Amino acid sequence: MVTVGEALIRAAAELTGRIAEPVRLDAELLLAHVLDVDRVWFQIHDRDPLTTAHLEEFAALVTRRAGGEPIGYLFGSSEFYSLTIEVTPDVLIPRPETEMLVDLAQALLRNRLRSRVLDLCTGSGCIAVAIAAQLPTVMVVATDISPEALAVAERNVKRLDLSDRIELRRGDLFQQAPERFDLIVSNPPYVAKNDPALTRDVAEFEPRLALIDVLDGDGLGFYRQIASRARAHLASGGTILLEVGETQAQRVGEMFEHEGLVVETHRDLAGIERVVAARS
């Protein structure tokens, strides 16, 4: 009979050299998912035997992970702002750095009643639901061009009981959102075509439509489109918050300054300029 500890050692060995470190962490996350326990449980159950059914399920997940499939897709969910968000290969897996958009949205709207928020390129809806969950008086419109992504977002909205305050609309950027908003947030596709820095698990498994700048190819196409139309969709004193790639903040900020908006940038915990804020 294979014990918990032995299974983890074997899994880590299988993952070594095939995914980025730390392989032990991934092995523990996968086994914890199979056993429905937290990782602390392993500290006192290292010698417990695994059933054949659990071992087979774990082995199947390890094989898929070794092939590069992201853990979020293996589990069908990911944590974002303390919420469990359903994810499928039709949407990006939420990143911790994207939580900055929610932090900044709260700071801007906390003392304002009945604010209207627009979430462009909503994907799984993680930003929209996190803002609505944290700010119970806001109304959110969330748009995406992908019907498959909107189906995932709709399930997240319904499961979190936010249907009365989040409206999902299918369309390209502002196409189905002609009105003005107090806050616009977006994590648009900002990866340049053929970007050599794109890791295998992202390039091969996450949706190209949500990742790659298909407009101009340089990673900045969606920002150009948003900047050129932002003033027409911002209420007086409104703000737009945009997640940007590591080297994009200055160029994106200049686009919005050119449109007459007041710009500032915000750094993430790694010191990277991660969010551009532009105020009307």
DSSP 123-192: TTSHHHHHHHHH-TT-EEEEEES-HHHHHHHHHHHHHTT-TTTEEEEESSTTTT--S-EEEEEE----BP
pLDDT tens-digit map of 125-135: 999 999 999 99
Residue pair 237/183 in contact (Cβ under 8 Å)? The answer is no
Q: For residue 134, give both structure tokens.
A: 């944290």
How many Å apart are CA 44 and CA 254, to the nearest integer?
55
- pLDDT (0 to 100) of residue 193: 87
- pLDDT (0 to 100) of residue 1: 84
How many Å apart are CA 144 and CA 162, to the nearest integer?
18
> What's the first-to-final CA gap in the chain, in angstroms?
66
Global pTM exceeds 0.85? yes
- pLDDT (0 to 100) of residue 214: 87
Q: State the maximum Cα–Cα separation within the chain, in Å, rounded to a whole number.
A: 69
Mean pLDDT of 70-76: 95
Q: For residue 75, give both structure tokens.
A: 């589990």
Q: For residue 69, give both structure tokens.
A: 């499939």
- pLDDT (0 to 100) of residue 210: 92
Residue pair 89/68 in contact (Cβ under 8 Å)? The answer is no
- pLDDT (0 to 100) of residue 97: 94
How many Å apart are CA 191 and CA 218, to the nearest integer?
7
Locus of tokens 């305050």: 165
Of 82, 104, 83, 79, nearest to 93 by C-alpha is 79
